[in-house]
A and B are shown apart, each in its own frame.
Chain A
Amino acid sequence: MMFELARGHLLQPAGLGEDDLERILARLCGPGVDLGEAYFQRRVRESWMLEDGSVRGGSWDVDQGVGLRAVAGTGTGFAYADSLHLPALMQAASSARAIARSGQSGRVQAGQAVQAKHRYAADDPTATGQASDRVELLRTVDAYTRSLDARVTQVTVNLSASFEAILVTASDGVLAGDVRPLVRLDIRVLMEDGTRREQGFAGGGGRFELAELMQPETWQEMAREAVRQGAVNLTAEDAPAGHMTVVLGPGWPGVLLHEAIGHGLEGDFNRKGISAFSNRIGEQVASTGCTIVDDGTLERRRGSLSIDDEGTPASCTTLIENGRLVGYMQDKLNARLMGVAPTGNGRRESFAHLPMPRMTNTYMLPGQHDPAEIIASVADGIYAVNFNGGQVDITSGKFVFAASEAYRIKNGKLGAAIKGATLIGNGPDVLTRVGMVGNDLKLDSGVGVCGKEGQSVPVGVGQPTLRVDGLTVGGTA
């Protein structure tokens, strides 16, 4: 059904039929070409912004085009067209096949529609509901947020919805389509107390309709969370500096896994032998209590996919099982070169970007310990519950993530709030220092954006409460 819908959005308006797809593939598959592929995409995005008590901006953005690639060995020829019309596509296909050598042309297999389970509804959130209701929601959120605490002096609310249709056809016989909704609400507050000013933030969303975010219980909880965080930060003291025990809260702190482990296990870096995890399959890289998966199959999550951008059905890939490294995330190119199967992790920002192995929803399975017991076990350290995101050098393995809400732990008890500080560690050994794993697995609220080689894609993370026995904390005290 998804394929039919995608075809209706992409091929029919341009007057393209399946014989045209075959012609494009035939043009792409020059001599020596292992894979020719055409990726059709159309994405509509609608967004609204409230600031200073009024809805000051709104935007509607549409992009469509076709990315054409020809893969020969480890090399890729790539071109794209911002029109869906056949002459432009044939011309782009000629540019992409410049990678081809002279000789016999490559073989094109007849396409057969890929069957995959749908992980989200096919409704277009940008075409559902009234603009006036969106504007009204933003004003209601603003009034409610301000009513929560007199120290709130600024409220910024952003609401966005996007709807993407993709269709991919390739010379290996893949013919697949998907339609992907994505919605998001963000609430940011500035709070002032005397001379101190601090921010609080909460947000969330996923692959569903705007109506769900517009439920009062949903946005009211976000508003309370943003104000709670701002209030905590108003009392925060300088963070300590040095190497110490760090307890990470459940949910969004799973950004640790994304940076420390996830990127290093993407197939391209390992095929090239440039990851700190290269050639380490089978080795113990984490404590035995750690099992980590990348799971694109979760229903309606921000990082979920029915099929990836190469038409491979999404899957749940175990990366680390009881501390042992068991798998990498793969797209087609790197899977073929490493002699393994693709894992449904071939993703691209848009038709104008090449696909590569990317994460979907990456999380650690729960362990045995009660979170309170984990905090009580720490004599001197910090408890970090919210983060701003992170970064990793996949070759040296060094990664950072910046805490935005954290507390001191002294003698097993939570103490004062401390200011945001960057934590830095070494990916291949940080998880060997996981001393306790909580029983409270939580996934994030749906705000993750992952950047790699200039391409952004939506992702999810999650984890239970974790105790890491030794991370460097970048405070000032």
Chain B
Amino acid sequence: MSDFLDRPEREIEQLQQLAQRVLDRARQGGADQAEVSVSSSLAREAAVRLGEVDVLEEARDRGIRVTVFRSQCSGSASTGDLRPEIVDECVDRALAIARHTQADPSSGLADVSLMADQAVDLELWHPVDLEMSDLLARARAIEDAGRQADDRISNSEGASVSTEAAVSVYANSHGFFGSSRGTSYSQSCVLIAADEAGMQRDYDWDSRRRFTDLAEPALTGAGAASRTVRRLGARRVPTGKVPVLFTPEVARGLIGHLVGAVSGSSLYRRASFLLDAVGQQVLPEWVSLVERPRLIGGASSGWYDGDGVATRESALVADGQLLRYVLSNYSARRLGLQTTANAGGVRNLAVLGGGLDFDQLLAEMGTGLVVTEVMGQGVNLVTGDYSRGAAGFWVENGKLAWPAEEITIAGHLRDMLQGVVAAGTDIDTRRNIQTGSLLIEQMMVAGQS
């Protein structure tokens, strides 16, 4: 256990040896090029419910994925079993598949000149060897605080605390060997409140790279309690067009749809409502999106992407205008463009331009709907049509009036993005897309007839 935490370089060394074995075998098997990702992690989780132990889990996960290229034909294989003979079988299987796939002129490794040549310590590794009993005590403290915070809390789905330490290696036949290591500490609490109308459930959570940065247990417990009880008495709202305010967790999803629509794989499949949109106004003039993949201690920081290409700070949207797409080496080649070092997605994408706090946003909205949760998969990136279930709060005279549920919100993503009229300073930095609340001028809300 603590061996992994104390000396991650030893684990990385083993993964590198395995990666080298894969690359050697692929070359001997006739591959022109090959790449390999290997990962290894150690996780512990303690969950309590109503003060009793619910689950104690210890997880040691490993995995390897191999891709080989031969005359522009590719084959891939993976396993969670890192014994050398199984890894060798994976290479052979990948080679066998590459004998059957068809030549793809876009396939193959990114150009050697694009490889990240300088390892950077992004300060993501902060190990603490916590005993299961430490995690359990913390989970109990969280749940206790939540259950005691309000008389209307009637039940609990429990609280949990987890730790994870992970190392990974990406290597390819250009001779590139990258490694990274990171820790992550998380806690969450899910509570139930009841009144004569029925039950409601909500949660609170936190996740940090340093254990000491985690929110106080009482804060997460009390947060879960207040989020849950404020939903009691929720009802449907009248059907009609109103302004809608997305809180940061929902706003992150909206920006995620924009990223999805300008991602290479959507574009070369023509499966996007934002084809040929570089240079176009996709957001209002006062909004910019900047990607900072090398942010020290960032939630999704990395110095190389999934192709081994060096990451760098780069604007995605400036003054509302789309400056570039989100491309891996493969999707870039399909489109006849250069990679943007986004194999694996965007990293620490920040939404800039917000200036109002949450109360000011409510005042700005006047009457409308705050959305704190969306449900279902009703997002069509091909057409931009958006229709989802929602829950949140009805707002009158710039103040939260009552909780709302069993309603839908609908619109077109292009209009929703261009219709952002204000952004909040309540920025959530815990995920790869970092945004505050977003106020959208108007959406169709359906509830009562």
Contacts and interface: CB of A to CB of B under 8 A. Distances in A.
Nearest to A63: B80
B81 interface: yes
Given A58-B101, A60-B77, A63-B81, A422 B198 contact: no
A101 B372 CA distance: 42
Interface string A65-103: 100000001111111111100000000100110110000
B78 A474 contact: no
Contact of A472 (B198, B380, B407): B407
Given A54-B104, A56-B74, A58-B76, A402 B378 contact: yes
A57 interface: yes
**Chief secondary structure at chain B's binding surface:** strand
Nearest to A139: B102
B55 A78 contact: yes
B60 to A, nearest CB: 7
Contact of B270 (A197, A243, A397): A197
Contact of A135 (B59, B100, B445): B100
A98 B257 CA distance: 43
B54 A241 contact: no
Contacts of B445: 241
A82 B61 contact: yes
Interface string B414-449: 000000000000000000000000000000111111
A241 B408 contact: yes
B444 A475 contact: yes
B446 A473 contact: yes
A131 to B, nearest CB: 5
Contact of A352 (B61, B75, B79, B96): B61
A56 B107 contact: yes
Interface stretch (B168-176, B301-309, B338-346, B383-391): B383-391
B218 interface: no
B75 A58 contact: yes
B199 A395 contact: yes
A418 to B, nearest CB: 11
A79 B376 contact: no
A398 interface: yes
Given A132-B100, A391-B375, A424-B375, A95 B385 contact: no
A423 B407 CA distance: 9
A59 B77 contact: yes
B58 A474 contact: no
B201 interface: yes
Contact of A272 (B81, B155, B376, B389): B155
B446 A242 contact: yes
B239 interface: yes
Given A54-B102, A395-B192, A476-B387, A98 B198 contact: no
A274 B193 CA distance: 10
A276 B199 contact: yes
A153 B271 CA distance: 11
B101 A57 contact: yes
A74 B387 CA distance: 40
B55 A243 contact: no
A75 B271 contact: no
A379 to B, nearest CB: 14
A136 to B, nearest CB: 10
Given A274-B199, A396-B234, A398-B405, A476 B410 contact: yes
A36 B380 CA distance: 46
Contact of A424 (B59, B83, B200, B408): B408
B351 interface: no
Given A56-B74, A82-B81, A243-B239, A274 B52 contact: no
Interface residues of B, number: 79
A420 interface: yes
A174 interface: no
Contacts of A396: 198-201, 231, 234, 405
B277 interface: no
B10 interface: no
A371 interface: no
A388 B62 contact: no
Contact of A73 (B52, B157, B387): B52
A211 interface: no
A154 B77 contact: no
Given A242-B446, A243-B239, A352-B61, A420 B385 contact: yes
Contact of B101 (A55, A99, A153): A55
B269 A190 contact: yes
A241 B142 CA distance: 41
Interface stretch (B19-27, B86-94, B122-130, B144-152): B86-94
Contacts of A173: none
Contacts of A60: 75-78, 90, 93-94, 96-97
A239 interface: yes
Given A400-B389, A475-B410, A64 B81 contact: yes
Contacts of B353: none
A388 B55 contact: no
A198 B132 CA distance: 51
Given A56-B74, A420-B387, A274 B407 contact: no
A472 B406 contact: yes
B81 A58 contact: no
A197 B55 contact: no
Given A58-B101, A419-B385, A474 B270 contact: no
A56 B100 CA distance: 10
Interface string B56-80: 1111111000000000001111111
Contacts of A274: 155, 157, 192, 199, 201
Contacts of B90: 60, 62
B210 interface: no
Contacts of A363: none
Contacts of A131: 96-97, 99-100
A469 interface: no
A472 B382 contact: no
Contact of B389 (A48, A56, A73, A391): A391
Interface in A323-373: 352, 354
A241 B77 contact: no
B447 A472 contact: yes
Nearest to B74: A57
Given A241-B410, A398-B389, A476 B444 contact: yes
Nearest to A49: B101
Contact of B200 (A135, A352, A395, A402): A395
B230 interface: no
Contacts of A472: 236, 406-408, 446-447
B113 interface: no
A150 B98 CA distance: 32
A224 to B, nearest CB: 20
Nearest to A244: B449
Of B80, B192, B198, B407, which is in contact with the most chain A CB atoms at under 10 Å from its CB?
B80
B110 to A, nearest CB: 17
Interface of A: 48, 51-52, 54-65, 73-83, 92, 95-96, 98-99, 131-132, 134-135, 153-154, 156, 190, 192, 197-199, 239, 241-244, 272-274, 276, 352, 354, 388-391, 393, 395-402, 419-426, 472-477
Interface of B: 49, 52-62, 74-83, 86, 89-90, 93-94, 96-104, 107, 132, 155, 157, 192, 198-201, 231, 234, 236, 239, 268-271, 375-378, 380, 382-383, 385, 387-389, 391, 405-412, 444-449
17 contacts: A56-B107, A57-B74, A58-B98, A60-B90, A61-B78, A62-B79, A65-B81, A76-B54, A76-B55, A77-B55, A190-B269, A242-B449, A274-B201, A388-B376, A393-B201, A400-B408, A422-B387
Closest 4 CB pairs of A and B: A474-B408, A400-B389, A395-B201, A400-B376
